[in-house]
């Protein structure tokens, strides 16, 4: 649930975001400004991809929580829950909010390729477009815009990939050193992992991040 009363009572709200939740954070940021609140956007990651730069408030993102914040909210809710919150409370969804929500929808449902997509998702997308979301721009930036670091890391990930369990599972390893060498983020690795699902017979992908001693320090599965 969204803590409506805490938003209303707070003098300075800090929204914690990452690459998965920045678009939703952008929508919330706009909404809170319309409620005459002081708001800050703080990234949990060192940097957010430039593919999000078309969204409102990208240039407002900082990496440290302001000392004046009296309410910190981690933006981890689904885009459908956030949209319902606005609708149920009769909050107007302006163009900036609509564009951010539509972009969040693309991110959350893998550009409508996710198995979780149903008629309600398409209905929501249509509603957001009617409210002013520039869907073509969102697709161009989020789907087709890639950094040089993502191209570099993709080459390494492909070389490191191994097929297991009768070629149904693609296991991909990446080291901290390789990430730093390419200037890439772990999220860029996760984004690339979806490409592995196009390999014949592969139904599951696992990403293993290793440190300089080849020890596994993070495992991401079931993609």
| Largest CA-CA distance found in the chain, in angstroms, rounded | 57
What is the C-alpha to C-alpha distance for residues 77 and 16, in angstroms, rounded to an integer? 12
Query: Residue 223 above 70 pLDDT?
Result: no
Given a contact cutoff of 8 angstroms between Cβ atoms, the answer to whether 186 and 179 are in contact is yes
Pick one of 3.40.50.720, 1.10.10.60, 2.40.37.10, 3.10.310.30 as the CATH number of 148-220. Answer: 3.10.310.30
76-85, 129-138, 203-212: which range is least confident on average?
A: 203-212
Q: Considering only residues 206 and 60, tell me which one the structure prediction assigns the higher pLDDT.
A: 60
pTM: 0.75
Strands (E) in the chain, as ranges, are: 12-17, 38-43, 61-62, 71-74, 162-164, 169-175, 204-210, 216-220
What is the C-alpha to C-alpha distance for residues 83 and 5, in angstroms, rounded to an integer? 17
Element (H, E) at 85: helix 79-88
pLDDT digits 0-9 by tens, 136-154: 999 888 877 777 888 899 9
- 160: Cα within 13 Å, side-chain hemisphere: 21
Q: What is the arithmetic mean of pLDDT over 163-187?
A: 88
Q: Considering only residues 127 and 195, tell me which one the structure prediction assigns the higher pLDDT.
A: 127
Q: What is the pLDDT of residue 102?
A: 97
Secondary structure of residue 164 in the 3-state scheme: strand
Per-residue DSSP letters for 116-163? T--HHHHHHHHHHHHTT--HHHHHIIIII---HHHHHHHHHHHHH-EE
The ranges assigned to domains in the chain are 4-144, 148-220
pLDDT digits 0-9 by tens, 35-92: 999 999 999 987 788 889 999 999 999 999 999 999 999 999 999 999 999 999 999 9
Strand partners, 13: 39, 71
Q: What is the pLDDT of residue 219?
A: 67
CA 48 to chain centre: 9
What is the C-alpha to C-alpha distance for residues 108 and 75, in angstroms, rounded to an integer? 13
CATH class of residue range 4-144: alpha beta
For residue 129, what are its two tokens? 């477009």
């Amino acid at each position: 649930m969204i803590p409506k009363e805490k938003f209303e009572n707070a003098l300075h709200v800090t929204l914690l975001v990452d690459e998965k939740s920045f678009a939703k954070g952008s929508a919330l940021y706009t909404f809170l400004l319309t409620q005459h609140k002081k708001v800050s956007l703080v990234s949990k990651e060192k940097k957010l991809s430039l593919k999000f730069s078309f969204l409102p408030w990208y240039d407002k993102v900082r990496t440290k929580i302001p000392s004046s914040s009296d309410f910190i909210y981690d933006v981890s809710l689904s885009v459908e829950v956030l949209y319902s919150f606005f609708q149920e409370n009769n909050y107007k969804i302006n163009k900036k909010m609509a564009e951010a929500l539509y972009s969040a929808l693309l991110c959350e449902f893998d550009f409508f390729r996710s198995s979780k997509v149903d008629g309600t998702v398409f209905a929501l997308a249509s509603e957001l477009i009617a409210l002013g979301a520039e869907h073509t721009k969102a697709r161009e930036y989020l789907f087709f815009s890639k950094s040089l670091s993502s191209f570099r890391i993709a080459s390494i990930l492909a070389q490191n990939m191994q097929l297991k369990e009768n070629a149904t599972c693609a296991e991909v390893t990446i080291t901290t050193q390789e990430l730093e060498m390419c200037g890439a983020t772990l999220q860029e690795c996760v984004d690339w992992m979806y490409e592995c699902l196009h390999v014949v017979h592969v139904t599951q992908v696992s990403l293993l991040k290793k440190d300089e001693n080849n020890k596994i320090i993070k495992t991401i599965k079931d993609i």
